Amino acid sequence: MVKKTRRTIQNSGNHSNKTRIIAALLVFVLLGSGIALVFSNSDSDENNNEFSSNVVATNCPKNDKSSPRTIDFIRRPPRCIETNETHTAVFDTTEGEIRVLLDTSLTPNTTNNFVVLTNYGYYDNTLLFRLDPSIGIIQGGSPHTNDWSDPGPGYTISDEGGLFLPLNNGGVKGPFTYSPGQLIMARSSGLNSSGAQFFFSTGEEVSLLDTQGSYIVFGETDDQGLSVLKKMMNLYEKDENSPYGGGPKRQLLIRSVTIEIE
């Protein structure tokens, strides 16, 4: 089963004195709020590191993914997509390609968030770390830890797509129903708690989540993509040492995600 992994960040160059002072002030202010910052040692925009080590405001990245790879932010992104355009997310995985048509009509903000993170390279070289055949889902989207403890991008996004009601048990009842082939945001139990983690639905078992309905559906794959997802689920084997009760026989890697716009 997947173990926690962390990738090494290499730094080069030196900060100017001005940058050192600003960095020190930000650390002083933000550590009091429990936000840990790691600053780059380069003043140049030319950064070939695997990760950008800055914690930055979420601005609109370049659509060609030429912006430095970034996985930590201090606020949710602005609107970066045109909702009248068609956006297709293409997942290049070790088991095959999954093409997902994103919903810019019912869930424009969720789709915008996913597109922005994708164009920052957030999901590249990450694992689909959790398989749960009991509810027919495959979960991913955790570049820091490659498991469900991932701290996320540094912000959460607002619920959308219908009415969300808080429950007495601390959970949420939402408007969605679930079927095979959907791309769905993961969330914690509270309102407005999605960030970056997602899951694919692979079988009819996912309809068991209808009683909650609070996981935002923001995309759907085609028959070919669904066949890849089912092939992944067939790799599942029980593992009593796994926090998920089991996992894939081999690692399921997302090599990259890209966005096609029409």
Residue 54's pLDDT is: 53
In this prediction, residues 83-104 reach a mean pLDDT of: 98
Tally Cβ neighbours within 10 Å of residue 62.
9
Sequence ranges of the domains in the chain: 84-261
- The CA–CA distances, whole Å, from 146 to 27, 60, 169, 185, 197 equal 26, 25, 29, 16, 10
Q: What is the pLDDT of residues 231-247, one digit of tens each?
A: 999 999 999 889 999 99
Domain 84-261 annotated CATH 2.40.100.10: yes
Residue 57's pLDDT is: 65
In this prediction, residues 68-92 reach a mean pLDDT of: 96
Pairwise CA distance, residues 118 & 183, whole Å:
14
Do residues 105 and 83 lie in contact, with contact meaning Cβ atoms separated by under 8 Å?
A: yes
The closest of 255, 250, 256, 220 to 234, measured between CA atoms, is 250
Q: What is the pLDDT of residues 122-178, one digit of tens each?
A: 999 999 999 999 999 999 999 999 999 999 999 999 999 999 999 998 899 999 999
> Which amino acid type is present at position 232?
M
Residue 71's pLDDT is: 96
Q: Is the pLDDT of residue 249 over 50?
A: yes
For 236, the enclosing helix (H) or strand (E) is strand 236-238
Lowest mean pLDDT among 16-30, 103-117, 133-147: 16-30
Say if pTM beats, i.e. exceeds, 0.85. Answer: no
Q: What percent of the chain clears pLDDT 90, i.e. is strictly above it?
A: 75
